[in-house]
Structure 1
Amino acid sequence: MNTRTGRFRPWIWAGVAGAVSGAVFVAAAELAAFLVAREASPFLAAGSFVIDVVPQWAKELAIELFGASDKLVLLITLGFAVLLAAVAAGILERWRRWAGVALFVVVGVVALITTTTRAEASPLSFIPPLVGAAAGVAFLKYSIAALGRWQSRTPHEEAGTGTDRRHFLVLTAVGALGAVIVGTGARIGSMATSSVAAARKALKLPAPVSTVTVPAGAELGIPGLSPLFTPNADFYRVDTALEVPSIDPGDWRLTIDGMVDKRVQLTFDQLLDLRLREYAITLTCVSNQVGGNLVGNARWLGVPVREVLALATPGRDADMVLSRSIDGFTASTPLEALTDPNRDAILAVAMNGEPLPLEHGFPVRMVVPGLYGYVSATKWLTELKVTTFAEDQAYWTPRGYSPRAPIKLSSRIDTPRIDKAIPVGPAKIAGVAWAQTVGIESVEVQIDGGRWQPATLAKAINSDTWVQWSLDWDAVSGNHTLAVRARDRNGELQEQQRTPIAPDGSTGWQSTLIRVA
């Protein structure tokens, strides 16, 4: 075989060497992160950086297309981009000495910047990207040199021994396999939350001084209708954390500072000493489209935020609280919404009868009725800064969202569904509606553009939760259009006009096509 023509393609094998070098880069960085700075994975830091800089329209599109899988899609896309860059580095290094190394160095510098500038960065966060870059460069230089020796063999020499070819192929195979084993093992080790999970499992919360009373008739029990309380496993999750933060309750601290008479820091036990109460509250994401499922209702165990803020005594000129997560996310909540004695804004420690799930903010998160999550529902909470809207901006404000975002009056059809035909005859049209802090007065359904028919409302738990509704219908064969609208207890009718999610939540009546057969 002619080593310079025919079947031998130096640039292909150079690309393979580059790809394996990229894998070695990532694996070595993950191993270093596991050993010295678990928060400093360059790959996850790069993903977080993308989340931070992505434009608002791209964020909404990702949530609409992929839902809760948006972060997985991001990581897969990022991995593909890293692979392409590594392949390019291999080809460049084979073409011109040090060109591929230069590309690796650039990637290493970017990784160093994104890793060390994260909110959760530690003094050792610089080590993983440096170790990863050094390992990747070393493997790239060695493997490309081996490829060069293979290519330089004469046809007679190669046919006689094939030593250099085998050396290169074994080198890349071992490098790839080792990178997969080391990288995967290190990532699993870094993600392991066994100690925090064990602490959560062993956590014994004190009995609440008050509990939620669910009135008879609050649950209609109709197949296909959302349950009154959303199970924790089904509760929507939208946040900026690529990796769920792990916080031991014994290490957790909440700092209240800013425009306050005195700075206060609370431990988890001190928070529990403020006496827990149970609340039923519906949460809604601003990214929830008309008829969407980024909304859920739960029982929350917690203490009023106003009692916690009172320990520090907010200044009279303050009008906002900037809440901060351990991962750097911030939310801007009107101070009046947190201190209003008629609104149950809480610091929650439990959800549906168990300590908060790790992905829903364990050990402490905020839950504020009547405000979209991006301005109120901070998970993995670590700080409450009393300030002003003029002085501070939260995470999503400079990205095109309103700093104040009251939840819109909304209603949704759960059943029948567009993707599942129903039989001819008696049927139930059913769904949920919510108007937080006000409550739902009525729900109406329209069938095929006809008159609006009043639906039957279930008993409401309170004005902060959704309410189930249903309408009996004698379904006839064919395709039908169903629409729904609600009215709140102030007499306000749900907004008909469709508006986009940004800057403060979508509006519009849901209309859906269903099939009767």
Structure 2
Amino acid sequence: MQDVTTKRTALTRAASAGVSGLLAGFAALAAAELVAAAVRPEAGPITAVGGAAIDLTPAPVKDWAIRSFGTNDKLVLQLGIVSVLVLFALALGLLALRHRRIGAAGVLVFGVVGTVAAVSRPDSQSWTDALPSLIGALIGSAVLYLLIGALTPAPVDGREPDTGRDRRAFLIAASAAAVASAGVGTLGRSLTARHGKDAVASRTAVLLPRPASAAAAIPPDAQLRVPGMKPFTTPNKDFYRVDTALVVPKVDATAWRLRIHGKGVQRPLTLTFQELLNRELIERDITLTCVSNEVGGPYVGNARWIGVRLADLLREAGVKPPSRGGRADQLVARSVDGMTLGTPVDAVMDGRDAMLALGMNGEPLPFDHGFPVRMVVPGLYGFVSACKWIEDIELTTFDDYDPYWVKRGWAREAPIKTQSRIDTPKPFARPGAGTVMIAGVAWAQHRGIDRVEVRVDDGPWRRADLAAQHTVDTWRQWSLPWKATSGNHTLSVRATDRAGEIQTEKRAKTVPDGASGWHTVVVEVE
């Protein structure tokens, strides 16, 4: 009986030590969130460590995460970080039961990791970014030390402590730590939310003016009336989002500034959001594509953008394209979160509708898509052209500077490849025998689509019917009626752009400059 009681006591102490570790971790994160609200929300340990993890992750792993989790990849990463912290907090609590000081010191180690991650982030603004992780770790360490002390009181006058009374003391201390941490965390979240309210208010106040150069009307027959087809214009809520921001930046447009400087800039510019709104605006329908889009993938969308011609701003700053003797051949765009994207200057100034976009589908840019200002350059993959939350443009050369993705093995220049996709029937669909409509989209931004062909099994390529082309910078829908017979069939599609280039059959991964190959769909006709 004594052995059973001893084992029970040991298990209870171990469980209490584990709880102590969890409460210490909770206290550390809550305190860090409160300090981050005062310093800068992006300096919080979860965000800082998560951002560092993204930066250090090899490109193939990033690609796998995007394929596997889509726009939930960042949530999965955050949950993974929290899971690791929970496991280590439990382990530190158990360690502290035997070695109280070492366990408490272990919490400080995590503070160091968070500190290094915060100050080494590209968007780090000063040494104060280290404070959330440092202060949080100190408080977490103190909480663990005190809770373990309450759990294992020292004998008094050589007598064993009163187990029942000490258990009550521990429960009181643990409850106090939990309540205090919850209060601190709630206050931190409240203050962080307040930071975002100014940004939300500034966006709500934006009234997009009528553009000086409006977009042409979309032809009625640009949208096919085929069940299963996506709309020609992608609604903002459905537009893909691929970036490295764990927390979407909430930027106050009234405080935002854009700086244009660097090589060959004769007149550096600093512009406010209102100054951009007051300029001559253009409105264009442009299809964007992410380089992480697999063949047949979803990371492509079409929207109506309104903004300022980027070439006009560069000319105003005295910039010349390298083809006309300019000193810079690369435009490096920097985001408020530290992201850097490099774009060929010639591509921005060759007459295409490259812009600093202020609006999307008739409203100010959503925060997810770059409010207050983002870059849009037709014909280039997003990682070399579509900087969101932009705040700085530096003119430089490809030889002098490698942006974020180039340092990680992606191409310096990345024109969008000619691609096509089958949207209906879906993979492994079971349509009935008879006439089945095969339909989808094709894109080759800034070149346009000239022809789409479909093949069933190993049969001949058949030319599909093309919907009306709106502009060469937008995707084009297509369809083909197929007399389906019973059995399994493989459907393939390929496109030809207006430069005469036929979409290649050769399969290529997304790294370094975009996926290639024919999209195929297997169906079973009943």
Q: TM-score, normalised by structure 1?
A: 0.95
Equivalents in 1 of 2:289, 2:447: separation in Å?
15
Q: Per the alignment, in what secondary structure is the counterpart of residue 129 of structure 2?
A: coil
Q: Per the alignment, in what secondary structure is the counterpart of residue 307 of structure 2?
A: strand
Q: Which residue of 2 aligns with 1:322?
A: 332
Q: Per the alignment, in what secondary structure is the counterpart of residue 211 of structure 1?
A: coil
Kindly indicate whether the alpha-carbon contact (under 8 Å) linking 2:329 and 2:344 is maintained by their aligned counterparts in 1. Answer: yes
Q: Which residue of 2 aligns with 1:220?
A: 224
Q: Which residue of 1 aligns with 2:385?
A: 376
Equivalent pairs, count: 513
Q: Which residue of 1 aligns with 2:145?
A: 141
Question: CA 1:495–1:150 in 2, change beyond 3 Å: closer, same or farther?
Answer: farther
1:195 shift after superposition: 2.5
1:133 shift after superposition: 1.2
1:360 aligned to 2:369?
yes
Kindly indicate whether the alpha-carbon contact (under 8 Å) linking 2:154 and 2:161 is maintained by their aligned counterparts in 1. Answer: no
Residue 451 of structure 2 aligns with an amino acid whose one-letter code is S
Deviates more, 1:122-131 or 1:306-315: 122-131
Question: Which consecutive unaligned segments of at least 5 residues does structure 1 have?
Answer: none
* 1:244-298 Cα shifts (integer Å, max 9, x gaps): 1111111111101111112211111221222111111110111000000011010
Q: Which residue of 2 aligns with 1:164?
A: 166
Q: Which residue of 2 aligns with 1:421?
A: 430
Equivalents in 2 of 1:37, 1:156: separation in Å?
46
Question: CA 1:368–1:150 in 2, change beyond 3 Å: closer, same or farther?
Answer: farther
Q: Which residue of 2 aligns with 1:11?
A: 14
Q: How does 1:396-415 map to 2 (within 5 A)?
A: 396-415=405-424
Q: How does 1:339-488 map to 2 (within 5 A)?
A: 339-341=349-351, 343-418=352-427, 420-488=429-497
Question: CA 1:154–1:377 in 2, change beyond 3 Å: closer, same or farther?
Answer: farther
Q: CA RMSD in A?
A: 2.1
Choose which of 500, 508, 511 in structure 1 pairs with 2:517: 508
Residue 268 of structure 2 aligns with an amino acid whose one-letter code is R
Question: CA 1:189–1:451 in 2, change beyond 3 Å: closer, same or farther?
Answer: farther
Residue 82 of structure 2 aligns with an amino acid whose one-letter code is G
Equivalents in 2 of 1:251, 1:442: separation in Å?
48
Q: Which residue of 1 aligns with 2:323?
A: none
Equivalents in 2 of 1:420, 1:13: separation in Å?
54
Equivalents in 1 of 2:462, 2:175: separation in Å?
68
1:150 shift after superposition: 9.4
Residue 318 of structure 1 aligns with an amino acid whose one-letter code is A
Q: Per the alignment, in what secondary structure is the counterpart of residue 98 of structure 1?
A: helix
Q: Which residue of 2 aligns with 1:313?
A: 318
* 1:444-489 Cα shifts (integer Å, max 9, x gaps): 1111221111110001111111000001122333332111000011
Kindly indicate whether the alpha-carbon contact (under 8 Å) linking 1:150 and 1:168 is maintained by their aligned counterparts in 2. Answer: no
Equivalents in 2 of 1:421, 1:35: separation in Å?
57
Q: Which residue of 2 aligns with 1:246?
A: 250
Question: CA 1:36–1:401 in 2, change beyond 3 Å: closer, same or farther?
Answer: closer
Deviates more, 1:8-17 or 1:478-487: 8-17
Residue 277 of structure 1 aligns with an amino acid whose one-letter code is I
Q: Which residue of 2 aligns with 1:89?
A: 92
* 1:382-441 Cα shifts (integer Å, max 9, x gaps): 011000000011001111101111111000000111254333332211100001111101
Equivalents in 2 of 1:286, 1:374: separation in Å?
7
1:109 shift after superposition: 1.4
Deviates more, 1:29-38 or 1:230-239: 29-38
Kindly indicate whether the alpha-carbon contact (under 8 Å) linking 1:418 and 1:515 is maintained by their aligned counterparts in 2. Answer: no
Equivalents in 2 of 1:188, 1:330: separation in Å?
31
Q: How does 1:80-159 map to 2 (within 5 A)?
A: 80-123=83-126, 124-149=128-153, 157-158=162-163
Q: Which residue of 2 aligns with 1:496?
A: 505
Deviates more, 1:384-393 or 1:477-486: 477-486
1:314 shift after superposition: 2.2
Question: CA 1:151–1:224 in 2, change beyond 3 Å: closer, same or farther?
Answer: farther
Q: Which residue of 2 aligns with 1:51?
A: 54
Identity among equivalent positions (%) equals 46
